[in-house]
Amino acid sequence: MTVIRQEDFVQSIADAFQFISYYHPVDYIQALHAAYQKEESPAAKDAMAQILINSRMAAEGHRPICQDTGICIAFLRVGMNVRWETKLTVPEMVNEGVRRAYLHPENKLRA
């Protein structure tokens, strides 16, 4: 039986939100780079180059890619035979993880 502890779960939510705040998916970067190489318009090439540069700066500096953080949505998949060690409900733990991510002292996210 898998045991999921409250602190581990909450921190994993916070870590995930921080991660996605400063990393684009690899396939997106690869596709944008491929499009950049094929692009003929100087203005479009410049725009794509700026996106790639900003993405790299966000990843290296662990700063948000975009200041518009949008709406938080968490999709969870929990298997069978799980035991929770928590005093909070699952939605309360997700909300606490999101709160921590948004208030992280080194990378505060804008609500």
Structure tokens at 68: 């518009």
pTM, two decimals, is 0.81
Q: Is 90 exceeded by the pLDDT of residue 95? A: yes
The ranges assigned to domains in the chain are 1-22+65-111, 24-64
Q: What is the pLDDT of residue 108?
A: 83
The DSSP code sequence of 33-68 is HHHHHH---HHHHHHHHHHHHHHHHHHHHT--S-S-
Burial of 98 (0-12, 13-18, 19+ CB in 10 A): buried
Tens of pLDDT, residues 44-94 = 999 999 999 999 999 999 888 887 767 888 999 988 999 999 999 999 999
Give phi and psi for 98, each to the nearest 5.
Answer: -65, -45
What tokens does 70 get? 């949008």
Residue 69 has what pLDDT? 61
Question: Helix or strand or coil: residue 84?
Answer: strand
